[in-house]
Amino acid sequence: MGERSFNLADLFEVVADEVGDRPAVVAGEPRRTFAELEERANRLANHLLTAGVTPETRVGIYAWNRVEWIEALLGALKARAVPINLNYRYTADELRYVLDDADVEVLVYEPEFGAVVSEARSLLPPLRQLLALGDGESYEQALRDASPVRPELPRSPDDPYMLYTGGTTGMPKGVVWRHEDVFFAAMGGGGFGQPPIETPDELAGRIPAGDERMVSMVIAPVMHGAAQWGAFITLFAGGTVALFTEHHFDPHAVWRIVERERCTTVMLVGDAMARPLAEALEDPAASYDTASLLTVGSGGAVFSPAVKGQLQAQLPNVIIMDTIGASEVGSTGSAAAAVERTPRFVVRPSNAVLGDDLRPVEPGSGVVGRLARCGHIPLRYHKDEAKTAATFVTDPDGVRWAVPGDFATVEADGTITLLGRGSQCINTGGEKVYPEEVEAALKSHPDVFDAVVVGIPDDRFGQRVAAVVHPRDGSSPDLEQLAGHCRATIAGYKVPRDLELVGAISRTPAGKPDYAWARTRFEGASGR
């Protein structure tokens, strides 16, 4: 093999060569060491190359969390193909859209999704190949017939890595990164508490000793960026990824895996996962050994203070960490602040909060700007020049920034207070309300289990604040009770004016609120 580069496949091979006998992935019953994962990924890569896959060929992965998801991801990268993450909840129309938009030529998929795949591909140019997962299926046959030898082909740090966003504000969009940029921006850069590595081979020397091995419980689907990046961070540290493979979230199943695998880290997505996990630990009928656990981190959604406090009470010796980032910027900051207030994030030097003039806002000024990153940032959105121009901007000094739309302020000490995504911001009578702040206030009420806040039309103010609340069992809080509770912590114009109680909050597979669903709960409401 030639000189290694900051290519994700090269970097994985550095680790696999160093700690081949260590466990790399645990996914229910299936377990793979680094050597086994390496061999099976090699087999898939060789199969793809024999089938005519060339650099930048798109390989879609349409599956639940399972060990083959990681194998297929690495196998595609080893062949210099571009893996495409596909949401397993897609309908045929949604699947067709992404397959077409991404120009997918090979599809790795769950057999139970076969009907959706057949319907979607009937409206598309023929795919080069379909590989069905499972014993006796075409994926396993392809691996059996292919060489286990590492493919000899030159790779580049400029090879594209593409991540499709969830499409919360429209159809999903592919964010196109260079391998080197996404490694340093989203996958730790080989730092692991130290400065980023300067050469790929340095990665081997950064791997902790076996008894200090990271074992990361990855709960969210690896079709989502935060989970995929968390898995890469763990693998690049020579650690073990413990995938949650249940098809429905079960907090007790999570703690059983943490106990069995002696997990050191749990990676989750905000309150939607944290609150059930905390209450599972509170359950007097259950008892779990969590002594191995060092950190619980949230990516993709910030903890509310009430839920963070509830989880911290059950895990007093564990660091409960918020991280912020986006598909367009990678990981930008973290906070392990006290639970009684909104966290302040410490961000990297490559991050700033930019005003409308694309200049950093003055710390302590209270000016609301947009969180941005320079340096290692994506190239573009795939096939969307207008969105690329709006998100990836150049400041007056010629510095290129990624500005995905998260609003924030900079405190006097330089820390960042995150307000929320601008696309969900509510404008009520000229005042801006960020849903996350109101949701945090609602969740601190003892009768509220979960909540989502949206803006709905109002004849007088343009929009007004409305809340969809999932109450705790046996509770039925009314609007007056919740409004009075919220007024103790947030301004009056932010307090919900409409309330809908539901049996469950609709969320994406990654645990993010489904704001479009929440708005439908108020269709037909009077404009007042």
> Following DSSP, what letter does each residue of 170-196 receive, concatenated?
SS--EEEEEHHHHHHHHSGGG-TTSPP
Residue 485 three-state SS = helix
Q: How confident is the model at residue 339 (pLDDT cuts 50, 70, 90)?
A: low
What tens digit of pLDDT does each residue of 109-133 get? 999 999 999 999 988 888 989 999 9
Q: Which of 144, 165, 149 is nearest to 38 (CA)?
A: 149
What tens digit of pLDDT does each residue of 35-63 get? 999 999 999 999 999 999 999 999 999 99
Q: How far is CA 268 from the centre of its chain?
A: 9
CB 398 within 8 A of CB 460: no
Domain 425-520 grouped into CATH 3.30.300.30: yes
CB 299 within 8 A of CB 321: no
Cα distances from 438 to residues 75, 428, 490, in angstroms, run 44, 14, 7
CATH no. of 349-422: 2.30.38.10
Say which residues have a Cβ less than 8 Å from residue 480's Cβ, sequence separation at least 6: none
The pLDDT value given to residue 343: 73
CB 276 within 8 A of CB 249: yes
Say which residues have a Cβ less than 8 Å from residue 38's Cβ, sequence separation at least 6: 12, 13, 16, 20, 150
Looking at domain 8-22+32-190, its CATH class is: alpha beta
The domains of the chain are located at: 8-22+32-190, 349-422, 425-520
Could you tell me the end-to-end alpha-carbon distance of the chain, in angstroms, rounded to an integer? 70
Residue 263 exposed, middle or buried by CB count within 10 Å (0-12, 13-18, 19+): buried
What tens digit of pLDDT does each residue of 75-110 get? 999 999 999 999 998 889 989 999 999 999 999 999
The pLDDT value given to residue 168: 46
Q: Which residue has the higher pLDDT, 323 or 231?
A: 231
Say which residues have a Cβ less than 8 Å from residue 161's Cβ, sequence separation at least 6: 8, 77, 82, 176, 177, 178, 179, 182
Q: Among 268-272, 323-327, 334-338, 514-518, where is mean pLDDT lowest?
A: 334-338
**DSSP tag of 427:** E
Instruction: Mark out the alpha helices in 79-113 (DSSP H runs).
Output: 92-102
| Separation CA 162–CA 59 (nearest Å) | 11
**DSSP tag of 432:** E
| Separation CA 304–CA 490 (nearest Å) | 14
Pairing of strands 295-298, 129-132: unpaired
| Separation CA 318–CA 491 (nearest Å) | 33
Q: Which residue has the higher pLDDT, 338 or 289?
A: 289
Structure token digits, residue 457: 């039309």
Q: What is the mean pLDDT of residues 153-157?
A: 95
| Separation CA 240–CA 214 (nearest Å) | 6
Q: How many residues does the chain have?
A: 528
Q: Which of 453, 425, 448 is nearest to 438 (CA)?
A: 453
Q: For 424, list phi and psi in degrees, rounded to 5.
A: -105, 0
What tens digit of pLDDT does each residue of 448-504 get? 999 999 999 998 888 999 999 999 999 999 999 999 999 998 999 999 999 999 999
- Name residue 458's beta-bridge partners: 462
Determine the Cα angle at 375 with ends 371 and 376, to 5°.
95
- Name residue 470's beta-bridge partners: 450
**Mind giving me the DSSP string for 269-332?**
-HHHHHHHHHHHHH-TT-----TT--EEEE-SSPPPHHHHHHHHHH-TTSEEEEEEEETTTEEE
Neighbours of 371 (CB within 10 A): 28
The overall average pLDDT reported for the chain is 92
CB 391 within 8 A of CB 404: yes
Residue 494 three-state SS = helix
| Separation CA 209–CA 19 (nearest Å) | 10
Q: Which of 26, 220, 46 is nearest to 145 (CA)?
A: 46
Q: Among 151-160, 164-173, 378-387, where is mean pLDDT lowest?
A: 164-173
| Separation CA 299–CA 270 (nearest Å) | 7
Residue 170 has pLDDT above 80, yes or no: no
SS (H, E, C) 3-53: CCCCCHHHHHHHHHHHCCCCEEEECCCCEEEHHHHHHHHHHHHHHHHHCCC
CB 40 within 8 A of CB 12: no
Q: How confident is the model at residue 429 (pLDDT cuts 50, 70, 90)?
A: confident
The residue ranges of DSSP E strands in 116-224, in sequence order, are 129-132, 160-164, 174-178, 215-218
Sign for the pseudo-dihedral over CA of 467, 410, 269, 59: positive
